[in-house]
Amino acid sequence: MNNKLIRPKNIVIYGFLMPGIIIYAFIVVIPMILAMRFSLFNWSGGPKMHFSGFGNYLTLVQDKTFWISLKNNLVIIFFSVIGQVGIGFLLSVFLSSKLVKFKGFHRTVIFIPVILSSVVIGFLWTMIYNKDYGLLNWALNSLHLSSLIQPWLDDPKIVIYMVTIPIVWQYIGLYMVIFMSSLQSIPKEILEVAELDGATGWKKTRYITFPLLYDTVKVAIMLCIAGNMKVFDHIFVMTGGGPGTSSTVMAQYAYNNSFVMFKLGYGSAVSIGIMVISLLLILVSRKLMGGNEK
């Protein structure tokens, strides 16, 4: 009997790959090419398209609202990296320790928000923030902190931070699961030897666990940046980008231009700008975190 593995023919391999390639091309590659094309035209959705070259991009560079929306995205990314990735890492280490009981229950509870719709999360936190009957103001009033009560989503100075909280909260469980999966790959012997040498608790996490999970941390941060550069649903439901442009993000700005003001050419340029900036941020983060690569 021939025990050698039989390699399938190339046509069989291509046959299995083709459905995925077609779907990816249909929902990613083709729309991206069309967006690049539309961004070169002044187009309002009618049959006539007026070629403007790079005029939309020149307008984009001078568009203050676009740069405000980029700043808001960067604020969300900053706190999301700290909150989602940072807290997710700490929770994964904590739930992997011997001190925690009912680990499966805790993992499930923390992961539940991830599977909920972003629209549901947005409505839930809108009710929490409500000035008249929201849970947050009710808690402050119960603690005799009435002076802190305010319309949390109506203050331009704090609204971007308030809408960031539910975004961070929802996806902590995702990164916790990623890190817990990576923790399973660390040989138990390494951790046992570290404990024998006196590296317990925070020291073991800092000097043993974190360096061994560094590659996973890098991937998690890049995923976090990419995910929060296209954040839209939460903010659309909670504030609609207001008050004014104080909580407008780039994805919503592209949506407003394309489907509210019907400036489809300019909206496509905004979308391409989002893609380029996202790629630059990911490349920069990868470069900054890749100092230990050989």
Considering the domain boundaries, does residue 171 fall inside one? yes
pTM: 0.90
Considering the domain boundaries, does residue 76 fall inside one? yes
Per-residue pLDDT tens, the chain, 294 aa: give them: 455 567 788 888 888 999 999 999 999 999 999 999 999 999 887 888 899 999 999 999 999 999 999 999 999 999 999 999 999 999 998 888 877 788 889 899 999 999 999 999 999 999 999 988 899 999 999 999 989 999 999 999 999 999 999 999 999 999 999 999 998 888 888 877 777 777 777 778 888 889 889 999 999 999 999 999 999 999 999 999 999 999 999 999 999 999 999 999 999 999 999 999 999 999 999 888 875 444
Which residues form the domain of 133?
A: 53-289
Considering the domain boundaries, does residue 44 fall inside one? no
Considering the domain boundaries, does residue 6 fall inside one? no
Considering the domain boundaries, does residue 22 fall inside one? no
Considering the domain boundaries, does residue 100 fall inside one? yes
Considering the domain boundaries, does residue 188 fall inside one? yes
Considering the domain boundaries, does residue 109 fall inside one? yes
CATH value at residue 165: 1.10.3720.10
Peptide bond into 211 cis (omega under 30): no
The domain total for the chain is: 1
